[in-house]
Amino acid sequence: MVKIKKTKRPSWDEYFLKIAEMVASRSTCDRCHIGAVIVKNKVILSTGYNGAPRRLPHCDDIGHEIVGGHCIRTVHAEANAIAQAARNGLSIDGACIYLTNSPCYDCFKMIINSGVSEVKYKNFYMSRYEASKAVFTLAKTSGVKIIKI
């Protein structure tokens, strides 16, 4: 009898987070590379990375537009993934979004309104500490699960 060596496969969470990391490599803002992958029933619906709005020059090309310590030119990865799904007519209601970093407060509100029911992230991102902590309070109130992987 031939002994079969079983291949170690990543879990679904590991798999989608690795894809989010690859998506982040497309970021056009060198201050922070963040990736997002929206998944439903183990199928990728949309991806997004942080960068300038469509058809506008990238931070990497013309520099940052800094206000209050933040680059206001950049559209966040979560927003880009949600917008991409909308542009393609895809419902993300009940989906899970995988992120390389935890979402900011504004993106989390957008996640709630989009119908995404679960957020899984790799690293905690602290932009403005109180607002970053408030995301977790908002998660409890909204019923959207937020899980560090």
Annotated binding-site positions for Zn(2+)? 76, 104, 107
Q: Which two tokens stand for residue 80?
A: 């880009």
130 classed as catalytic: no
Instruction: Kindly give the interhelix angle for 77-87 and 105-114, rounded to the nearest 10 degrees.
Output: 20
Q: From start to end of 61-134, where are the E strands? A: 66-67, 70-71, 96-101, 118-123
Q: Tell the burial category of 135 from Cβ atoms under 10 Å away from its Cβ (0-12, 13-18, 19+).
A: buried
Active-site entry in 14, 21, 65, 78: 78
Instruction: Kindly give the interhelix angle for 129-142 and 105-114, rounded to the nearest 10 degrees.
Output: 20
Active site positions, annotated: 78
